[in-house]
Amino acid sequence: MTTIKLKNGSGAPTAGDLAQGEPALDLTNKRLYTEDSGGTVIEVGTNPGTDVTFADDRKAVFGAGSDLQIYHDGASNHSIIEESGTGNFLLRGDNLVLQKGNGGKNYLKATTDAQVELYYDNAIKLATTSSGIDVTGNVVSDGLTVDGAVNLNSAVTITSTSAALFFMESDTTDLNTRLRGNGGNFAIHTVDDSKGTVGLRFLINNSTGDISFYEDTGTTAKLFWDAADERLGIGNSSPSTALDVTGTVTADGLNVDAGSTSLVGTLKTTADNSSLVYSDSSQTLILKNTDASGTARLKFLGTASESGAITFGGGVGATSDTFAVYPRVMAGGKAFNITGGGDISFYEDTGTTAKFAWDAADETISIGLGASSTATISAFSRTVSANLPSALRIIENTGASTYWDIGANNGANPNLNFYVNANTTPKMTLASSGNVGIGTSSPSNLVHLQSSLDTLLKIESTDTVVRLDLTDSGGTSLIQNTSGKLVLQADNANASANSFLGFEVDGSEAMRIDSSGHVIAPYGVTLGTAVGTYAAANTLDDYEEGTFTPELRDATSGGNTATTTHKFGNYTKVGNLVTIWMHFRNIDTTGMTSGNAISITGLPFTADNNQYTSGAVSTDRVSFSGNYLTFSVTENAAYGPISIITSNAQDASLTVAGIDGTGSDIQGICVQYRTA
């Protein structure tokens, strides 16, 4: 080991003044120096300016008694800060962070006036809050004592051979609760304040699923659920049935649903002539095994004058009754009985005469039986005709031979048929499809009417208006008669756009009245013939209105065209007859051949080959030698000349020279011609 001397002097030492690791004091400037392993003098005291290096096991020691030491233990390779004084070891900072050596992860972080956080692998697991702590993850503890309320937002696991949770009440004495899991059982106990005295209240066997509730001493189960046999015992712990009660049961009511089980329940007694009695303050119900007459009876008893009974095996004064009901207010009269032969009767108010009866032998139901024993309505099974069994007969009156039979046929898809008297053809049929037939037994539509009469359906109203509404998802249309006026209304509420009234023949539309009131008849209208007679010559099948642009030319085709400030033409075509109107304003013939005849071209339709019509021409500033001008359409063409008509002379054509130039007008031409 090398001996190091402490040197002193005035001012900083040089490298030659010191050996490596040898300290030197500058007494003048109060500074400490040493020489590092490279032979450089470094300042250690107030401002070293470079790193200070300590070898393994060399310490930076602070305090008169070496209270604080900082060093690296070479043997364990640990770096140690050791405080051994009588005071406290304080680390101070506004924000204190303890990190991994490379600074990449936090171990602990303390924030001024806020939380302290503990980390696991740089993830916060515990943080202090203003009201306590916040833990992220699970807490494993050997025990837990809580003074105050606990809010649990997730599962709590207690692991022990006898895991227990105590609820100790501070406002009572020896009245506390323990929840415990032990030996495969879960139990709820009452415990005293010392937790030494225990009373069992509730037990679940986690292996079998059995559940027990204990009496006040906590020793004997008085309500027991047998999970394996699915039985509940009350007053015993060995139930032999689904509900086994030892003791007396008091209930506001009892509802037993046995499901498919044939035996609902059994009431047992060893006494003869036994009874089951229900009573309240004024009425009594007794179910007796037998009474003095040997008849099983269910009695209703109140005051001496009010009694009723349901009898089995023989009634009051009617030994043929197998089952009978005697209301208490009918003074011994029957309301209902069933005989041994299966006949069933319902009686009128005196309890002496049956008015509704089922005859089991004849398989009929009769309603309204009287002295004549003739029913007003009878229901029975008989064959009206092959495969037409009747089920119900409604008779017009007692003893009458007029009646309705209502029956069904058609096997698996039965129709309901209505017959009159002995007629084997139904007057009306309701088919299994839901279709209704009147006059037919095979209705093909929802309502199917069939008859040899001219009128099959009459819709009549006592009001001044009667109508038939036809409604689908798009709206409602009406057929309406108002004081003798027949009105057809398509979409009367305007529920759909562009509604119309259409007429179809042989599957194709023949005519339509659209929503604007237009009558559209694509095949024309035949006029002036007998009803039902079509004649092409009498048929108006074409009508058209429109405009066209006429031209003034010096030839029938090609040639030169006059210019105008305005020209116009319109037409009306009815069948093959065309009427046209034309005018030209401020005609300019510049560029046209003056000696050529004027033709008007661009007519809307080509004429046929029999044109003998012409129309007058009204002009202004047009020169010609004759009486007047006319316009006619050339046969088989869509043009024509303007002719000069002179009395007792041959007609001539108006030439270009006859139009004075600018300012000339043909004010109007109107002519009719036939088109091909």
> Per residue in 96-152, pLDDT tens?
888 888 888 988 888 998 899 899 999 998 899 988 888 887 777 776 777 766 776
Does residue 452 belong to any structural domain of this protein? Answer: no
d(CA 501, CA 487): 12
Same domain, 225 and 298: no
pLDDT at 291: 53
Domain end point (choices 361, 384, 406): 361
Query: Domain limits at 619?
Result: 543-674
Does residue 637 belong to any structural domain of this protein? Answer: yes
% of residues, the chain, pLDDT over 70: 80
Half-sphere exposure of 376 (CA within 13 A, CB side): 8
**Cα–Cα separations (whole angstroms), residue 533 to 98, 253, 504, 508, 539:** 114, 88, 18, 20, 11
**Arithmetic mean of pLDDT, 159-181:** 88
pLDDT at 520: 87
Same domain, 201 and 299: no
* Residue of higher predicted confidence among 249 and 622: 622
Name which of 236, 238, 259, 255 is nearest 246 in CA terms: 236
Same domain, 241 and 306: no
Tokens 């269910």 found at: 298
Same domain, 61 and 173: no
pLDDT at 588: 92
**DSSP-assigned letter for residue 328:** G
Domain end point (choices 247, 273, 291): 247
- Digit-coded pLDDT (tens) for 351-377: 777 778 888 887 777 776 543 344 455
d(CA 330, CA 230): 49
Does residue 312 belong to any structural domain of this protein? Answer: yes
Same domain, 29 and 113: no
Same domain, 647 and 574: yes
Same domain, 308 and 233: no
Tokens 């309301």 found at: 335
Does residue 48 belong to any structural domain of this protein? Answer: yes
Q: Is the pLDDT of residue 244 over 50?
A: yes
Same domain, 670 and 601: yes
Q: Look up residue 466 and give its two tokens.
A: 């009667």
Task: For residue 588, list its beta bridge partners.
Answer: 563
Does residue 267 belong to any structural domain of this protein? Answer: no
Same domain, 547 and 655: yes
Same domain, 323 and 344: yes
CA angle 200, 203, 206 (to 5 degrees): 150
Same domain, 127 and 178: no
Query: From its phi and psi, is residue 63 left (phi > 0), alpha (psi between -120 and 50) or beta?
Result: left
Number of domains in the chain: 5
Helix (H, G, I), strand (E, B) or coil at 538: helix
Does residue 24 belong to any structural domain of this protein? Answer: yes
- Digit-coded pLDDT (tens) for 635-659: 999 999 999 999 888 889 999 999 9
Does residue 184 belong to any structural domain of this protein? Answer: yes
Domain end point (choices 43, 59, 83): 83
pLDDT at 517: 84
Half-sphere exposure of 2 (CA within 13 A, CB side): 6
d(CA 408, CA 253): 46
Does residue 371 belong to any structural domain of this protein? Answer: no
pLDDT at 662: 67
- Digit-coded pLDDT (tens) for 269-326: 655 556 666 666 555 656 665 555 555 555 554 444 445 666 665 544 444 556 777 6
**Arithmetic mean of pLDDT, 552-561:** 94
Q: Which residues of 585-610 are buried (b: 16+ CB within 10 A; e: fewer)?
A: ebbbbeebeeebbbbbbbbbbbbeee
d(CA 319, CA 331): 18
pLDDT at 315: 46
Same domain, 619 and 552: yes
